[in-house]
Amino acid sequence: MPSQNADLGYFSYPEAGPVPGVVLLHDVWGASDHFKDLAARLSGEGFGVLALDLYRRESEVSIDNPGAWMRALSDPAVESDIEQAVAFLKEQPATLGQKVGVVGFCMGGMYALLAGCGGQGVAASAVYYGLLSHEHGILHAEEGLDPARKPRQPLDAVRDLRCPLLALFGEEDEFVPLADIRELESRLSNCGPETEVVVYPAAGHAFMNETREEAFRPDVARDAWARMVAFFQRALA
């Protein structure tokens, strides 16, 4: 598949086009080769994929405490980046004028969910083990979060869902409690767009990440990938 380094990140696309676009959002550790590989793999399924580098403006990325790092990130700034990425894809010859979806993993999954509930112009959102709560877990702070940086938690945002959503979780995720996932399902039951939440038994966080042997679950990853591809083929047609 042809690919190029764009100002916003890494762009991979099929030679034949135009095809639907997808913005791919990395986890807290950044735009690693793993996410470039996922972008290339998804472009092989018939999509133009921009692996957006959310840290491209940072002179240095040194993450000692991933929770503190994520709490300090500005959600509105990331959502603005996603909006720019959507506009980029709609202007490229490979994806010209096509619908654009978003997919994200962990922190990126949280932002994929927020993008589906915001004004970023995405037509479908796929969430892999996205963080859901500010009230407990890795995003929680006893002193509270800066409302300018974290204006609303993902669970509260779903009432404004604007597009079809596929959310994929592991039942044993140490960062996304099953109670949060069930609360997500409950809140989505009142939404208008098509939604599906899949919970995989015997899987935890990062089950798609083959570079993390202790977390990777090949059978679960294959099923989740197939569901995501079918979802985007349907929602972005």
The predicted-structure confidence for 71-85, as pLDDT tens digits, reads as follows 999 999 999 999 999
Count of beta carbons in the 10 Å neighbourhood of residue 16: 8
Distance CA 25, CA 219 (A): 22
Residue 68 vs residues 31, 63, 137, 139, 154: alpha-carbon distances, Å: 19, 9, 12, 8, 18
Tell me, what's the pLDDT at 1? 58
Q: What is the mean pLDDT of the chain?
A: 94
Phi-psi region of 182 (alpha: psi -120 to 50; beta: other; left: phi over 0): alpha
Q: Does the pLDDT of residue 4 top 80, yes or no?
A: no
Provide the sign of the torsion angle of the four alpha carbons 235, 39, 110, 129, taken in this order. Answer: positive
Per-residue pLDDT tens over the stretch 213-222 = 999 999 999 9
Q: Which structural domains are found in the chain, ordered by start?
A: 3-235 (3.40.50.1820)
Average pLDDT over residues 139-160: 96
Average pLDDT over residues 96-105: 97
Strand partners, 133: none
Distance CA 103, CA 25 (A): 6
Asked if 51 contacts 12 with a C-beta cutoff of 8 angstroms, the reply is yes
Among candidate residues 131, 133, 127, 203, the one with its CA nearest the CA of residue 166? 127
Asked if 167 contacts 127 with a C-beta cutoff of 8 angstroms, the reply is yes
Least confident piece of the model among 99-113, 158-172, 186-200: 186-200
Q: Does the pLDDT of residue 21 top 90, yes or no?
A: yes
Sequence-distant (≥ 6) Cβ neighbours of residue 152 within 8 angstroms: none
Asked if 236 contacts 99 with a C-beta cutoff of 8 angstroms, the reply is yes
Tokens read off for 173 = 């995720």
Tell me, what's the pLDDT at 153? 96
